[in-house]
Structure 1
Amino acid sequence: MKLIIAITFALLASAFGQDIILRSGQSGQFPNFPYCLCKPTGAYRLDSTVTFKGNSTYCFKVRVSIPANCSDYCCKQADLKKLEINVKPTCNVAGVVLTATLNGAPASINPNFELAPQGPLNSTIVKITQLGLNLSNADGAEICLTLGTNRGGKGCTTLEDLCVPPAGAPPGVCSAALFSSNTDCCPSSVVNPPPPPPPPAPCFTCINISLNAVNSPVPFSFYPALCKQYADSVVANFTQAAAAAGAIITVPFNLTTCNDDLVSICGAFASEADSQLLAGVAEDLAAQFLDLVTGRFGTCPPYLDGHNVIVSITGDADSRTCLDAIKSLSCSRANVSFPKCICDTKPGATPYAALPFYTTQPGRLKTTTQYCFKFTSIPTVDGACENATIFSKVEFWGNEALRRNIRGFAIKPNGATNYTIISASWGAKGDETVKATPLNWSIDQATGSEICMDIDTSIALDDFCLGPFTNGCYLTIFDPTRKCCPMFAIVDRP
């Protein structure tokens, strides 16, 4: 009895299923794509990979490729009327409009979704018909299908959503068939989705700090320790800004160039889009890095007098704009009330100059430190002092209230083996001037010479030397006429 009941239910279920298929208009006669009786070989095939043209448009390239040893109608005479693609029934949504082109021109008839009449329940195809191709014009023909949604946003817009992949194939792989007008020939192709786009190219970017000496008798040069100091600060602040903006850096920023007049710190963002996340703060960063170079004393340091300082943030030299910002400053000498006489203080007026940084060494006494100033020769500018070749004396802008705290000068002209000690000589009361005199050196003696102030350790150099620069000293180099006195501000090395 149970067996009879089971058989009865099975027959009813089968009959019910057949009824659904019949009412759907699908016979289920052919369970596999292309869901009809036709010859699967022929003269036409599709390239194995689809081309993506953007805007949900996918293009299929037709090839005329007659199989070896095939001489029947499908290989030698058949035309190419339509393209059918095996698709998911869920894409067949009311109101969806598909469009197609053949070799760039609109297709004669818009493509449409259809239930496969001889296929199983819900088997669905997209059909592009009235192609009008044949053996003479089909090779290289391009059929493009543009997917879309209805007004409600429903529909399939990618091959991954659209196609029913062959067994074992990943999403996006499509089964397609090319039919002749009599539908006897349906050579099939398996076409793969377009390869994923390459990852965005990294955006190589550099922060450049450059110098242009426009009016400096002693051009300043970057040196390795200073390059590293600048680079460490730039890297820390730039990396922090990138992290705050969510910009991904794939090549860490590092010091790449350290020349006399150029420091470059370079790295790379993951993409142009990442670099542009810093676009809103790039000018501020450039200004910050400019201040790193020029703002040591709240103004240009004296060793940059006569220089233009430029900070630029630049990206690739191609069509992309990774990042672009620039800030610059022209540095000029500060006006000070020194020396206390009328003379030509212009650097380069005479063939002598002081190097921009002093050094220190132990003093003559355990209670003193020597601050040493070095001198060189330079080309002169045209003027009344250009032939002033005697290095007569050096005067310093000093705090005369601390005159007892200087223990004299240790001097060493070029060629001398040892230092010579001379007393400090002060100018008239109120002049705030201490002198290393007499010297009367020739150019050979002055070039490479050294003058060291011997100062009590109970005071700082900043207390003894006057002027706007912290731990800096102003000095003038006089010729015997006292009409020529190029002035220099000397500071400690940054």
Structure 2
Amino acid sequence: MRSFTILPLLCMCFVIIVDGRRGLFQSSLGNTFPNYPCQTDPSRSPFKLEPTYTMSPSANGQRICFTGAAIQRCPTEDPCCTQADFYKLELRVRPTCRRAIRSVTVNGLAAPTPTFEVYGLARDMALFKLPRLNLTTTNATGSKICITLRDPCPNLAALCPEGDGSCTYAIGQSTSPHKCCPTNKFGTVPPPPPPASAVAINPVPSKSLPLPTAAPRQTAVLARRSLANGPAPYTGTFPYVSACNQTTGLMPFRLAGSPVPSWTISGGNVYCFTLEAAPCADSTSPCCSSTLLRVDWWSYDTCRGSVRVYVDKVPYPVTWDQGGTFRLTKLNYSPDEVAAQPKQICIELRKDGPCDSIQKFCRLGSTGGCTYALYDGSQACCPTASTPALRR
């Protein structure tokens, strides 16, 4: 019989020494961006994009352009400062936006088609990689990187998970033993541009709804003229008809309480509001005795096709307008009618759509509250308010 020598099991242990500097490496296993180990600290790279971007109409969709910022100073002892180039741009996007980018150009010249990747522990994160941009410290400043967006994500608010027109990006280098991916953010809610021109979008950091304040005299005059000759220009805020009086409580109606999850009509997620009578903030205002023509909600363009509405459990037609404005119109409710019988307004969201919950449907609605505006027939009155957080 053969004899065997039992050798002790040897464990080879590796110690990973992590540099204490912020953002040296990210795990490729979690919900991080980018989804591979790399140096993310933007202060260690000479490259970044301007915090503003431009948008303009295109025959194939909405054209969004980013500008390379001036080369910034960085630690010269760091290889990500002295050895990296600007080879690719990565954008953190929604998983539903796989076919959103139609084309890419760099300084007016066509660039390769971007690649799309879904990742994350729940496969609920995604990114676009725009490769072969071939920018360096000698030509990155002022360079224009443009993408053309189309459905299902026709603008940056729909493309990026921030949902407000801003977006997180990373800059990747070509071949190098050092993994550098300086990560940063640009933009905020951008108003659509005038026809045939591009306009700069300046970030306005805000965690609350930018309700309009008193406008300069000239702006108000222009808005009133627009109402006489057609819709007022979109202002980047809600509601976009800026010439109306948006004082909360100005009309004798309100959406009471928070959206309440309710019965299912055809398999979707249903949330109901109660339209009820309410005291006016100014009883002497003509708005206090006006009829309710319509209700607008601040939503997203990508939610079109994902929603049905029922008033008192009867299907009701809906329309959409600029900036993701979702609308019920031709209501024609008098104050006495609503006081005698409040109306139940229910929104049903498709479970397989991009806006399957009220948190995703309502802009700035991460807690389940919704921003809305009530309009009278003349559109002179449009009191704006937000519902409380979702009740479960």
TM over 0.5: no
TM-score computed with the length of structure 2 as normaliser: 0.40
Structure label with greater radius of gyration = 1
User: Larger RCO: Structure 1 or Structure 2 (Cα < 8 Å, ≥ 6 residues apart)?
Assistant: 2
- Considering fraction of residues, name the structure with more helix: 1
TM-score (norm 1): 0.32
